Amino acid sequence: MERIAFTYGGRLLVAHLAAYGLAVALEGAGVEAYVGHDPDSQSFEPVVAFAGERAAVAEAVRASARATEAVVERDIEPGKRGNDRRAVIWARASFANDPDRATLVLGLRQELVDAAEADDTPFVAALLASLGAPATWGGDRVKPSDGATALDGVLGNHTSDLVRGVLRPARRAAAEIPDDAFASPGLGPAGDQHDKTGWAPPGTDVDLAHQWLAVLGLSLLPVAHRATARSATPACWRLSRPTRHGVTLPLLAAPVSLPRLRALLSLAALTEITAVGGEEPDQQHPPERMRAAGELRSLGVEEVVAFERSYLRGSGSSVGFTYRRGERVGLR
């Protein structure tokens, strides 16, 4: 099998999501792919192994970008330009004070869902599910923004948001990625492109096309909508006293298939490792944590990596956050 390692290192959330996204792109192109981590590296780089030719990887990534162009570029009001554009699929957009606007947007999102069901490729439906865009559920008290993925920390304002600031430029870069982009077995930062996703500390260099792969990787973490509460994103957790948020991912010494990875990411045990046990979950062993660790070990997961959310300064009432470098946790 061929192998591609994301040499950003396993302490960056964006690296894991990009590895997930590359596997998703390959699977969408009919190439069998597996995700794991380098067990011999102190920085536990995410690795994608696949049964195919390395020359086919770039085309698989380009295909994912082409398949999602219409849904990523669709605006609420057609014909707007520049900063006046408002994306249909930005799920954090809140129109709580304008019911008519909310009805319009949710209707447009439902149209995208209906179109995705008839699409031959898996990419559009997966993207909608991971962003939380098909938020056409709940009663009058549920805000449209309650359907957003817990991983969207891009500060939303009149100039930018996750879709306009990240998806659109990153998708365009992926659509034009050269044939030799994956010729090397290692992928790391190229040029001076800073991360825009928030899935790395501010100022981290991340290739724009790799940011697209990270967005595509969110499809392994589809949002679960709840009729009377904010939606939930797999692998994401919340601690209290003081309030903290984050995401925990499995470290896999032996690469696993995408169906198996999806199943692992959906386990409650993955978040219980971090979200129970008080301020220092790695140093305490309450029954819940021991049970969760035992379940994960029984499934071949000996370690996890936890990424804590860090809020942006000066974001005010708008939510803006990034993720700190991950902490490796052994399941003892």
| Residue 115 counted as domain residue | yes
Q: Residue 23 domain-assigned? A: no
**What does the angle CA 200 – CA 89 – CA 190 come to, to the nearest 5 degrees?**
30
- Tell me whether residue 274 is in a domain: no
Strand partners, 38: none
- Main-chain dihedrals φ then ψ at residue 90, nearest 5 degrees: -75, 100
66 vs 86: CA distance, rounded Å: 20
Whole-structure pTM value: 0.94
- 147 three-state secondary structure: helix
Integer angstrom CA distances of residue 147 from 13, 244, 255:
22, 20, 32
**pLDDT (tens place) for every residue of the chain, 332 residues total:** 999 999 999 999 999 999 999 999 999 999 999 999 998 888 999 999 999 899 899 999 999 999 999 999 999 999 999 999 999 999 888 777 787 888 888 889 889 988 888 888 899 999 999 998 765 556 666 677 788 999 999 998 888 999 999 999 999 999 999 999 999 999 998 878 999 999 999 999 999 999 999 999 999 999 998 877 788 999 999 988 788 999 999 999 999 999 999 999 999 999 998 754 344 444 456 788 889 999 999 999 999 999 999 988 765 567 799 999 999 999 87
Domain that holds residue 78: 73-167
Residue 135 within a domain: yes
Instruction: Pick the closest to residue 28 from 36, 37, 20 (CA basis).
Output: 20
Q: Give long-range contacts, CB 8 A cutoff, 24+ apart: 285-288.
A: none
Matching residue, tokens 């032996």: 254
Is residue 202 one of the residues assigned to a domain?
Answer: no
- d(C-alpha 12, C-alpha 170), whole Å: 18
3-state secondary structure of 223: coil
The three-state secondary structure class of 4 is strand
Phi, psi of 63 (to 5 degrees): -65, -40
Tell me how many domains the chain contains: 1
What's the pLDDT tens digit per position in 79-137?
999 999 999 999 888 777 787 888 888 889 889 988 888 888 899 999 999 998 765 55
The answer to whether position 22 is within a domain reads no
**pLDDT tens digits for 260-293?**
999 999 999 999 987 543 444 444 567 888 899 9
Tokens of 10: 């396993």
Q: Would you say residue 243 lies in a domain?
A: no
| Residue 161 domain flag | yes
